[in-house]
Chains A and B, each alone.
Chain A
Amino acid sequence: MIGITFDWKVFFDYLLPPDRLTRSALYLTLGISIVAQFFGVVFGLVSALMQRSKYRVLRFASGVYVWFFRGTPVIVQIFFIYFGANLFLGYDLFPRTLHLLFISIDGAVLAGAVALSINEGAYMSEIVRAGITAVDGGQMEAAKTVGLTQSQAMRRIVLPQAARVIMPPLGNEFNNMLKTTSLLAFISVRELFQDAEIRYSSSFKPVEYFSGVAVLYLFLTTLWSFVQRAIERKFSESDRDATVEGPGWTRRNFGRLVGGH
């Protein structure tokens, strides 16, 4: 019989509890995901607003951005930014360690986060655009008639309503982001997948470590799905306040009993 037994000890040693290195890999995965998603939303918002600009250059630039970053593999973009920045700029934009004010960051981590942010921005651009389009045109017009400027109306009237439409796909994007960070293993960022890979290559227990790391990713995505559900519940509560017509629930259901009409 050749090695078909699953080594449960390796599996549990890895997971229960994860050691210091795996924990910091977990934090790194989560941290990069949050940062990249945050900037992804920012870039997406800027790109979506550029797409609505009256200046053709801005619309064009935004179009090219979305076209390029949705049209090429993330891994290519990661390599391109990590190695290419060096090549084109003539100096090492992402050295081994970077000292930014109070913290020092691994250059690969920074390059990875930048690549994922820019890539995510292209997807968020489309999502934000769809959200803005979903808001009835009369909303912006009403804002104009009372003298709000275009940008005030966008900020105060349109975007808050677009946010309701944007939230669910944004949640899915973050779920994807948590998993996509694993590609940063290719530029030696010690996030969860790279951590598992290092352990496997010194032990030759691939199935144990890779099923272990699957559990860790599931832990993150499941945790996120709970957060996502809580956020969406909150949104739909205020939706109820905002859009349900007529009398309240009690009155509707027990109106005759309590003597209303």
Chain B
Amino acid sequence: MSLQQYIVDAQDVHKRFGRVEVLKGVTLQVKPQEVVCIIGASGSGKTTFLRTLNALETIDQGTIVVNGHRVGWTQDKNGSWVKLKERAMAEIRSEIGFVFQRFNLWPHMTALENIIEAPTRVRGQSKDEAIATAEELLRRVKLSDKRDVYPGRLSGGQQQRVAIARSLAMKPALMLFDEPTSALDPETIGEVLDVMKELALGGMTMVCVTHEMGFAREVSDRVVMMDGGVIIEEGTPEHFFSNPTHERTKQFLSKIL
């Protein structure tokens, strides 16, 4: 296998909800180990775009290739493209981590059970093996003492760290974050950002929708500004914070900085 040039290669992605076109041709490429932050006003399509990357939303036009797999489609033996079966799609999804704004931990399972569920069910790992990995992950997110606690008894920041560990247990090639700290109390935001920072330093490829500009500046390689369903500007964090070119970007940044 040749080294993949891009982990994410999204070309001209269009998405419509009913008659409203929410994504109007988004093109984004992400190299291995790159950290990309997506910013933009509410309703600009950030969440929708992120969700198309692991087929939580199907797209109407364009192509998305993640980690070498065309998302949602596969080639049959004659070489023509056909829709992927659900099981195959699930397999591709298992290689893409997704962290939600509202955590979505499973409340009837302990922190540990949340983490080992997919490795045992999807990958067929033995329980012992999965538990060993999960305990290591809990150490990494600094929640070893919460191993057997139900999500309802964890703070927001703790829940989000368990959710990150749950994604990491599948050893994903890419992690997607959708405003992972915007549902948190201010005092717990830092602990989640720290975990993300460490992940980035460890070489994880990441696409983060976030308005944490400190994080974007410190950790990301590239910032992407979305507006009205398209990317209107992209560049290094320095570019964005010193001299953004687009008028909408300037307006947006002046509001949140």
Contact = CB atoms under 8 A, between A and B. Distances in A.
Interface of A: 136, 138-139, 141-150, 152, 156-157, 160-161, 238, 241-246
A144 B107 contact: no
A189 B127 CA distance: 51
A81 B20 CA distance: 52
Given A138-B100, A241-B150, A242-B108, 14 more contacts: A142-B104, A142-B166, A145-B56, A146-B118, A146-B166, A146-B169, A148-B90, A148-B118, A149-B87, A241-B153, A243-B150, A245-B152, A245-B153, A245-B155
Which of A141, A142, A146, A238: most chain B CB closer than 10 A? Answer: A146
Contacts of A148: 90, 117-118, 121-122
A248 to B, nearest CB: 8
B151 interface: yes
Interface of B: 54, 56, 86-87, 90-91, 93-98, 100, 102, 104-108, 117-118, 121-122, 150-153, 155, 163, 166-167, 169-170
Which of A138, A145, A147, A246: most chain B CB closer than 10 A? Answer: A145
B122 A141 contact: no
Contacts of B93: 144-147
A242 B152 contact: yes
A152 B155 CA distance: 28
B137 to A, nearest CB: 13
B107 A161 contact: yes
Contact of B90 (A149, A157, A244, A246): A149
Contact of A160 (B95, B108, B152, B163): B108
Nearest to B166: A146
A3 B167 CA distance: 79
A144 B56 CA distance: 8
Nearest to B106: A157
B20 to A, nearest CB: 20
Given A139-B104, A161-B107, A145 B97 contact: yes
Contact of A146 (B122, B151, B152, B153): B122
B153 A142 contact: no
- A-B residue pairs, 10 tightest by C-beta: A147-B94, A146-B118, A142-B104, A243-B152, A145-B98, A138-B104, A147-B122, A242-B107, A242-B152, A242-B150
B56 A146 contact: no
B100 A156 contact: no
Contacts of A136: 104
9 contacts: A146-B166, A148-B121, A149-B86, A238-B108, A242-B107, A243-B150, A244-B152, A246-B153, A246-B155
Contacts of A244: 152-153
A147 B124 CA distance: 12
Nearest to A160: B108
Nearest to B170: A146
Nearest to B151: A242
B106 to A, nearest CB: 6
A222 B150 CA distance: 35
A209 to B, nearest CB: 48
A147 B100 CA distance: 15
A142 B114 CA distance: 10
Contacts of B97: 145-146
A85 B152 CA distance: 52
Contact of B167 (A143, A145, A150): A145
B152 A241 contact: yes
Contacts of B150: 241-243
Contacts of A243: 107, 150, 152
Contacts of A144: 56, 90, 93
Contacts of A150: 86
B169 to A, nearest CB: 8
Contact of B117 (A138, A156, A242, A246): A156
Contacts of B98: 142, 145
Nearest to A54: B86
Nearest to B169: A146
B153 A147 contact: no
B177 to A, nearest CB: 12
Which of A139, A152, A242: most chain B CB closer than 10 A? Answer: A242
Which of B93, B107, B150, B151: most chain A CB closer than 10 A? Answer: B107
Contacts of A157: 106
